[in-house]
Amino acid sequence: MSEQVYLGVDLGAESGRVVAGLWDGRRMRLEELHRFPNGAVSIAGSLRWDVLRLWAEIQNGLALGARHHGQTVASVGVDTWGVDFALLSKSEELLGLPFQYRDARTRGIMAKTFERVPREEIFAATGIQFMEINTLYQLLALKEHSPEILETADAFLMIADWLNWCLCGAKVVEFTNATTTQFLHPTRRDWSVELLGKLGLPTKMLPPVVAPGSKLGVLRESVSGVSGLGRVEVVAPATHDTGAAVVGVPTAKTGRANWAYISSGTWSLMGVEVPRAVLTPRALEWNLTNEGGVDGTYRLLKNIMGLWLVQQCKRAFDARGRTFDHAELVRLAGDAPPLRSLVNPDDARFLAPADMPQAIQEFCRESGQPVPESEGALVRCALESLALKYRTVLAGLEQVTGTSVEVIHIVGGGSRNHLLNQFTATACGRPALAGPVEATVLGNLLLQVRARGELSSLADIRSVVRATGDVTEVEPEPPGPWADACERFARLCSVK
């Protein structure tokens, strides 16, 4: 058969792109059409997303899709990060530039929230990990600082859903992204209106929740005109990028918890796939999160600070005139002394520091460890600490599910970091399967294929991923000094 083309819009915290997926009925071939930078914009002391520029870049990518593939384009789908949102007025005006999740306005909001609604009650109503970046606390901060905006809001849309509205006019929120808000009910799979009512937050602005793979309509005429595409279908894949990435895990054991995944990027999302939300006291104790998956599954996982630590170190090195690419930083880290200094990656000081190397050095100094000075030592400290955090989280996942994890799948851009992959396999004492790098966009595109009826199940999609993506097996090395490092790491940070 001739190739059918699907367009995937994939936005991350540092960059975005439009990718064409060329589907021949058995395999998906990827062609990156357009890549563009992303990042927070500082405005009057706040951090925002320049969503209008992102929308313009997406239209540029769609135009390239039309130019290269014309009438063979079947549909387009969007995935982005979670938790952040846009608000529309009754006349569909955008109510301000959306805040970026690292903005400082949510500092201290969680503690105030627990004074009104106990932590246990919020977890029962949402099943979500407690993080001050969650949408729930962002809305509470908005109510505190700009109540007039909430009073005016007629439609609440996650960033991916706002982009879908730009594409086709649909005002819905897709399930996998909705769960990241911390106000979607984990068993009813609809908005936790009772919780929002207790916190004095409006609910009239909340649109319907739709399942991943839903058809939302066709491109607006204006978008078709600007891009040159026809009135092609708009499909909501798993619009949360981690949800799409887990769809793209090349496992043959769909729906079973004896494998774990790490979606490795700016954030590390480590978890297991389960058939229903896990709401036990032990899950709350470990501060695990139940994010929505595909075909009724949930992603029982933990958000970990991830390669943000390395990215921000690189930014600081660049600013000092010490310019390295990521491969050079990995090489320098490999040459640095092993397991000398460790940090808790999820310490609050690492969320949005002015200078990441200084923040790492401060942690080491305060905890009585050798202070890493060189670029290689700083990056090695970050990577080894991440691997030890993965080990801790893996123990929690096994304890909560009662299942022993046999293998760890590492997907996403971070799966190219061979040093971190080796540290992860050794620290966790499990083989790691690294790849595909493009798990997120493959998940996005193959859910679009399924929406057209060409694939029937999550297992079908993953069989295509296995045939499409490159995977490298990494065996754990003898633990050696890692055993002692685990004990040191446990003393440095408690599970939160």
The Cα 216–Cα 239 span in angstroms is 13
Q: Is the pLDDT of residue 368 over 80?
A: yes
Q: Which residues contact 226 (CB under 8 A, 6 or more apart)?
A: 59, 63
The Cα 30–Cα 248 span in angstroms is 14
**pLDDT tens, residue by residue, 274-332:** 999 999 999 999 999 999 999 999 999 999 999 999 999 999 999 999 999 999 999 99
The residues assigned a catalytic role are: 241
* Per-residue pLDDT, 468: 80
Answer for the pair 414, 462: CB distance below 8 angstroms, yes or no: no
Number of neighbours of residue 203 by Cβ within 10 angstroms: 14
The Cα 408–Cα 443 span in angstroms is 18
* Per-residue pLDDT, 291: 98
The beta strands (E) that lie in 130-199 are given as: 155-158, 173-174
Q: In degrees rounded to 5, what are phi and psi of residue 290?
A: -110, 95
- Report the pLDDT averaged over residues 342-361: 96
Burial of 333 (0-12, 13-18, 19+ CB in 10 A): buried
**pLDDT tens, residue by residue, 75-107:** 999 999 999 999 999 999 999 999 999 999 999
CA 454 to chain centroid, in Å, comes to 27
Domains of the chain: 4-239 (3.30.420.40), 241-435+471-496 (3.30.420.40)
Judged by DSSP in three states, 21 sits in strand
Between the alpha carbon of residue 475 and those of residues 117, 339, 391, the distances in Å are 46, 19, 15
Q: Quick one: which of 396, 412, 418 has its CA closest to 268?
A: 412
Q: Is the pLDDT of residue 237 over 80?
A: yes
99 DSSP 8-state letter: B
Q: Quick one: which of 92, 57, 6, 448 has its CA closest to 239?
A: 448
* Per-residue pLDDT, 469: 66
- Per DSSP, the residues of 430-495 read S-EEE--TTHHHHHHHHHHHHHTTS--SHHHHHHHHHHHS--EEEPPPP-TTHHHHHHHHHHH---
**pLDDT tens, residue by residue, 112-134:** 999 999 999 999 999 999 999 99
Instruction: Supply 449's token pair.
Output: 């294929």
Q: Is the pLDDT of residue 214 over 70?
A: yes
Q: Strands 173-174 and 41-43: what pairing? A: unpaired
Q: What is the largest CA-CA distance in the chain?
A: 64
The Cα 86–Cα 98 span in angstroms is 5
The Cα 293–Cα 212 span in angstroms is 8
Instruction: Supply 386's token pair.
Output: 């991440």
Q: Is the pLDDT of residue 267 over 70?
A: yes
The beta strands (E) that lie in 203-282 are given as: 209-210, 214-218, 233-236, 259-264, 268-274
The Cα 144–Cα 489 span in angstroms is 38
**pLDDT tens, residue by residue, 383-420:** 999 999 999 999 999 999 999 999 999 999 999 999 99
**pLDDT tens, residue by residue, 42-57:** 999 999 999 999 999 9
Where does residue 49 fall: left (phi above 0), alpha (psi -120 to 50 degrees), or beta otherwise? beta
**pLDDT tens, residue by residue, 158-172:** 999 999 999 999 999
Q: Which residues contact 425 (CB under 8 A, 6 or more apart)?
A: 408, 431, 432, 474, 475, 476, 477
Q: Is the pLDDT of residue 269 over 80?
A: yes
| 176 sits in which H/E element | helix 175-178
**pLDDT tens, residue by residue, 11-42:** 999 999 999 999 999 999 999 999 999 999 99
CA dihedral 431, 436, 441, 445 (to 10 degrees): -100
The Cα 238–Cα 287 span in angstroms is 23
